[in-house]
Amino acid sequence: MTRLNGALERIYRNHRQPLYTCALAVTRCPQRAEDALQEAFYRLFRLERAPDNLKAYVFRAVRNAAVDVVRRSPPPSEPLSPFIFAPDEGPRETAEQSEFKRRVAEALLTLSDEERETIVQHLWGELRFQEIAQLREVPLGTVSSWYRRGIEKLRTRLEE
């Protein structure tokens, strides 16, 4: 196994849920998000050399694969389950926690694609704004604006 493949495996192991969540934020469908992840890693394992910031590059590859999946087949219009969270914690999870997760997921779906993706990439993907700007190929100020506006909209919707 090459060093690059080992690094990709570590990134996948350490960031599996955030990568899936980022793909899901774009595709809005669990099966399509899984397809995007699979497609992205298939391409990534064929790379010949590692990019400078491998983590940001992997997130970008997953996002690009998710965009490709959406281009081939638009996202569903039905509401989405609380996709940004890890699977339910079972009986330990209270009804109040489940309801909060559902409300957050619904509120996220009311945001623009840019705002939703930025929030998910930053909070659940643990990417810094600079990394998001790199992977989305936009200025840092634009990412900051998307995040700020999205958070304000979420706060307003959740306070309602």
- What pLDDT, on a 0 to 100 scale, did the predictor assign at position 104? 83
Rounded CA separation 110/28 (Å): 12
- What pLDDT, on a 0 to 100 scale, did the predictor assign at position 144? 96
pLDDT in tens, 95-146: 777 777 778 878 888 899 899 889 988 887 778 899 889 878 899 999 999 9
Question: What is the C-alpha end-to-end distance of the chain, expressed in Å?
Answer: 53
Domain 93-160 has CATH 1.10.10.10: yes
Angle between helices 129-136 and 140-159 (to 10 degrees): 110
pLDDT band at 87 (very low <50, low <70, confident <90, very high): low
- What pLDDT, on a 0 to 100 scale, did the predictor assign at position 141? 96
All structural domains of the chain with their residue ranges: 1-74, 93-160
- 1-74: CATH number: 1.10.1740
Contact status, residue 120 vs residue 84, Cβ threshold 8 Å: yes
Rounded CA separation 97/134 (Å): 34
Average pLDDT over residues 8-13: 90
- Which tokens go with 97? 């926690």
> 18-32, 67-81, 138-152 — which is least confidently predicted?
67-81
- Residue 51, pLDDT > 70, answer yes
Cβ burial of 12 (10 Å; 0-12, 13-18, 19+) is: middle
- What pLDDT, on a 0 to 100 scale, did the predictor assign at position 42? 93
- What pLDDT, on a 0 to 100 scale, did the predictor assign at position 69? 93
pTM given for the model: 0.72
Contact status, residue 58 vs residue 15, Cβ threshold 8 Å: yes
pLDDT in tens, 32-43: 999 999 999 999
Contact status, residue 36 vs residue 66, Cβ threshold 8 Å: yes
- What length is written for the chain? 160
Tell me if 1-74 shares its fold with 93-160: no
- Residue 82, pLDDT > 60, answer no
> 2-6, 57-61, 92-96, 138-142 — which is least confidently predicted?
92-96
- Residue 88, pLDDT > 60, answer no
